[in-house]
Structure 1
Amino acid sequence: MKEKPRTAFLAAPIVLLRGLVQAPNVAMVVIGVLITFSAVAALRVPINLTVSVTPEHSVRFNRQALEALPSAQIITQTPFTQGEQRFEGVALSNVLDAAGMGECADLKLSAMNRYQAMLSADMVARYQPVIAMKRNGQAMTLRTLGPLWLVFPLDQYPAIQNDRFYSAMVWQLTDIACQP
C-alpha cells in the first residue's frame, strides 16, 4: 500500500508561519501583550499562609500581616537556583511566635501542589530559615518558586547542604501545621 504524502498536515503551520514572518509587527505586539498579561497575572497571586497551632486553632497571614513582622534576609546559593541569591522575608520562628505556636516537636509544611515536608522545631531554632517573599529584590511569583519559599542559610552551614534540608525548602508554601 502506498503511503499518503504528509504535505497536507504541514500546510497549515507553514501558512501560519509565513503570515507571521510577513507581518512581524503584529506578531510582536500579540506576543508582547501575552507576556505582559501573564507576568501581571503571576504577580497577582495573593499570599495566604495558614499556620495551624492545633486542629481547632489556626492563624492566617496575608502579605500585610507577614510584612508587619520583623524582616529577615538570607544570602545563599541553593540547588534550585544559579549563583548566590538574596532572599527577603520573615524568619519562620517569628511567624510561629506571632501565631501563638507553643511547644511543637515537628512542623508539617505544605505547598500549593500538595507537596509536604516535615521540619523539626530544633531545625527551626538552630538554623533560622526565612519565609522568603522576595528574591534579589523582586517579589516572587509562581514562576519564580513563590510567592512564599522557605529558605535555609545553606552557605552559612555546610552541614545542612543535604537532601534532608533541601526537601524542607518548600516553595509555594501555603500551610504550616504543628505536629505534637
Structure 2
Amino acid sequence: MFRWVVFFVICLFSALPAAALPLGTPQGAVLLTVSGDVPETNSPEGAAFDLHMLEALGTTSFTTTTIWTEGPQRFTGVSLHDLVAALGVSEGKLRAVAINDYSAEIPVEDAVPDGPIIAWARNGSLMSVRDKGPLWVVYPYDLNPDYRSEIIFARSIWQLNRIVVEP
C-alpha cells in the first residue's frame, strides 16, 4: 500500500509545471526592475535584479553586427527567454524603458531560445552608460534576416533599466 501512495505522490508532482526558483534579493546595484503583470517578484515594485542575479539566470553570448557599431561585436547577457521564464511570464507585451524614458514594446513571443538577450557586456567588458549600458536588448541580427528590420531595431533599446509587463 505504501508503495502505491509514494507512486501516486510522485506522479502527481511530476505532472505539475516546474515552479520558478525564488528570485532572491539584490546585493549589489539594481540594474533592472521588472514590474506590472509579473507572477514572480522579490520587491514591492516587482522583480529587481543586480548583475549577479541576472548572471544566475544563465549567461548567453553571441557575435553579431549591429547598425550602431562597427564590425562584429560579442555580446553577453541573459536571454530574454530565460528572464521571462524565471518571472513566470508567458504572454503579453514587455515595455522596455531606458534611463532617458525612451521605451519600446517587445512582444513576449520574441523571447525565444537563440533570440534576443539583455546584454551587460560587449567584447568582454561591462557596458557603461556612455557605452549603451548598463543593459542593452540585443537581437542576433546576423542569425535571422527577420531580425534586420526597423521594427526589431526599434526594440533594441540600450541603457535599459526597467521593463513593464503588460497584458
Q: Shorter-normalised TM-score: what interval?
A: 0.7 to 0.9
In structure 1, stretches of 5+ residues that fail to align are 1-45
Report what 2:31 is aligned to.
Answer: 48
Please tell me the residue identity of whatever aligns with 1:98.
Answer: A
> What is the CA-CA distance between 1:96 and the residue it aligns to?
1.6
Please tell me the residue identity of whatever aligns with 2:135.
Answer: L
Alpha carbons 1:111, 1:174 under 8 Å: kept: yes
Alpha carbons 1:74, 1:130 under 8 Å: kept: no
Report what 1:74 is aligned to.
Answer: 62
3-state SS in 1 of match to 2:67: coil
> What is the CA-CA distance between 1:48 and the residue it aligns to?
1.8
- 2:152 is equivalent to residue 165 of structure 1: yes
Following TM superposition, where does structure 1 have runs of at least 4 consecutive aligned residues deviating by more than 3 angstroms? none
Higher gyration radius (CA): 1
> What is the CA-CA distance between 1:53 and the residue it aligns to?
4.3
Report what 2:25 is aligned to.
Answer: none
Report what 2:97 is aligned to.
Answer: 110
Q: State the Cα deviation string for residues 78-126 of structure 1 (Å, max 9, x = none).
A: 001111000001101111222232x322111000010000011112227
Please tell me the residue identity of whatever aligns with 1:133.
Answer: W
In the alignment, the residues of structure 2 paired with residue 95 and residue 52 of structure 1 have an alpha-carbon distance, to the nearest angstrom, of: 13
Q: Please, which of 109, 115, 122 is the counterpart of residue 135 of structure 1?
A: 122
Alpha carbons 1:69, 1:90 under 8 Å: kept: yes
3-state SS in 2 of match to 1:113: coil
3-state SS in 2 of match to 1:75: strand
In structure 2, stretches of 5+ residues that fail to align are 1-28, 39-43
Report what 1:83 is aligned to.
Answer: 71
In the alignment, the residues of structure 1 paired with residue 124 and residue 58 of structure 2 have an alpha-carbon distance, to the nearest angstrom, of: 17
Residues paired across the two proteins, number = 135
In the alignment, the residues of structure 1 paired with residue 30 and residue 155 of structure 2 have an alpha-carbon distance, to the nearest angstrom, of: 19
Report what 1:150 is aligned to.
Answer: 137
Q: State the Cα deviation string for residues 108-150 of structure 1 (Å, max 9, x = none).
A: 1000010000011112227620111110001100111001001
Give TM-score, length-normalised by structure 1.
Answer: 0.69
Which structure has greater helix proportion? Answer: 1
Alpha carbons 2:63, 2:72 under 8 Å: kept: yes
Report what 1:20 is aligned to.
Answer: none
Please tell me the residue identity of whatever aligns with 2:88.
Answer: G
Please tell me the residue identity of whatever aligns with 1:95.
Answer: L
Alpha carbons 2:95, 2:163 under 8 Å: kept: yes
Give percent identity, aligned residues only.
Answer: 35
Bigger shift: residues 65-74 or 125-134: 125-134
